Structure 1
């Protein structure tokens, strides 16, 4: 959401009926494997390629009047990810932050759910059978949490993609706060100016 502002959850829940609520989950799992036998993967973090070509997190609109945010989010995860999402449930304790967009009256709530690597791989395997696969969701992708020797490959190159709303900022904060990357490395990514390709490039 361009021009969004962070707000506290209590403030977000007190917004008027003209506001719509969206909930999204950062799904991650420890991954002890090594890329090329020498680059530690550390964690697997899932994002999705959306119908508009932007990267975001699985989730969607929820009806905060009829159910809790978490109930709505878990229902959305089943729709976006398929039956493997029924093996876990996102709880209020896994809430991270909210971002409000005043011009559209939409507020997005973000959660982070730690899975086992087996659970995450089951989500990846089952996602093509999900209701929204090929429609709202074009596919899942893992975030590379390393930087190659050229200083560009890996996470720096990944961050040059187009992200929806606050997804890029939320991703970087989660990588730092959950210690999914080496301490201090996220600050370097935030300071770096990434060039977004134009339609003519």
Structure 2
């Protein structure tokens, strides 16, 4: 049943659905591949500064992932496409991975670790001309979560802190990434390929545009959110859609039943 709650379109809004909501879908663990009821999760939202204080590798393992996206215009309609990937375990996710402990001294250090993962997984290199004084290189932080149900010390590289970023690239860079990701060092090992995800509201999918098919048969994003995602990938995509302000509150509400709840 669709949620009737209003969705505030605020920058930095976190996809923390209260426990009172009735969604009890399953979400897959990024490490073990097992599924767990949403009611058993202990997911909390953190600020990036709070998370950077939790650097003890015996208790916390950090991972950073990224949504690369571009804008495209057809006629008078502007739409966005994001890049998603198929993982080695058959689940969907976004490029990125575990951040080394020495990369957690600062935000710029974390982004350097994320860039390393993007190079390895999808052959994406940040252009040197994009370098800026604060070291973010155009990456915007969207969300950070900690899963209190996971103790990293009990299993090597068991991620329990998840960071997510977005980065806008040109349409040319986007297509280049689609064409060249198979040359990455992790293809077809950790990553089995990337594909584009249309991030556009059905109300804007006019019949005269290239977006016309995305509103058919239940609309693309509603159907897409029914797939298995690794870790909290659905929350991260949802947060990004809110951050980018590209969907109406009514359409966002249709996606809420598929994301994990926060305590």
The answer (yes or no) to whether the contact 2:63–2:99 under 8 Å persists in 1 is yes
How many residue pairs are counted as aligned between the two chains?
A: 188
Q: What's the counterpart of residue 48 of structure 1?
A: 85
Range with bigger deviation, 55-64 or 65-74 = 65-74
How far has the Cα of 1:122 moved from its partner? Answer: 1.1
8 A contact 1:144–1:158 mirrored in 2 = no
Contact 2:57/2:101, CA 8 A, preserved across alignment: no
Give, in angstroms, the shift of residue 65 of structure 1.
Answer: 2.0
1:101 to 144, 147, 158: 147
Alpha-carbon distance, 1:32 to partner: 1.6
Contact 2:86 2:194 in 1 (8 A): yes
- Which gives a bigger RCO, structure 1 or 2 (Cα 8 Å, sep 6+)? 2
Q: Distance in 2 between matches of 1:14 and 1:86?
A: 27
Which residue does 2:243 correspond to in 1?
Answer: 177
How many Å apart are 1:153 and its aligned residue? 3.9
Q: Give me the whole-angstrom Cα distance separating, in 2, the residues matched to 1:170 and 1:120.
A: 20
Structure 1 residue runs without a partner (length 5+): 195-201
Which residue number in structure 2 is paired with residue 5 of structure 1? 44
Please state if 1:154 is matched with 2:214. Answer: no
Length-normalised TM-score, structure 1? 0.82
Mapped contact 2:222–2:254 kept (Cα < 8 A): no
Using structure 2 for the length normalisation, give the TM-score: 0.64
Q: Which runs of 5+ in 2 are unaligned?
A: 1-28, 30-35, 153-159, 203-213
RMSD between aligned alpha carbons? 2.6
Per the alignment, do residues 7 and 187 of structure 1 end up closer, same or farther by CA in structure 2, a change over 3 Å counting? same
Q: 1:9 and 1:137 mapped to 2: Cα distance? A: 27
Q: 2:126 — aligned with what?
A: 86
The structure with the largest alpha-carbon Rg is: 2
Query: Are the equivalent residues in 1 in contact too, given 2:103–2:112 (CA < 8 A)?
Result: no
Q: Give the structure 2 partner of residue 59 of structure 1.
A: 96
Deviations 1:99-151 (A, max 9, x none): 11231332111001011111111111110000001110011011133545545
**Take 2:141 and 2:219, find their aligned partners in 1: how far apart are those partners?**
31
